Amino acid sequence: MSDINPKLDPNPPTNTQKDPDDWVSGDDPMTGAQASYLKTLSEEVQQPEAFEEGLSKSEASKRIDDLKGRLSAPG
């Protein structure tokens, strides 16, 4: 038996940063939470056209990431 405890690994393997294009459910409709957040972000960066009904989960995620980047960018 091994004394290695994976819960104590300082660099555990993770899949939380998976590319949205690789999501199994990426083609499903965006969630309500995604729609709400995307709508809010699009208004904050004054680009309401960034919000569209009918986006997939992966497309909504990519737009959210893009808009979040615009909020944090200097300028």
* Per-residue pLDDT at 22: 78
Tens-digit pLDDT profile for residues 19-54: 877 777 778 899 999 999 999 999 999 999 999 999
Whole-model pTM? 0.70
9 located within any domain: no
60 located within any domain: yes
| Domain count of the fold of the chain | 1
15 located within any domain: no
Structural domain that includes position 63: 25-75
CA nearest neighbour of 45 among 73, 18, 19: 73
Cα-based distances in Å from 17 to 5, 22, 42, 51:
23, 11, 23, 23
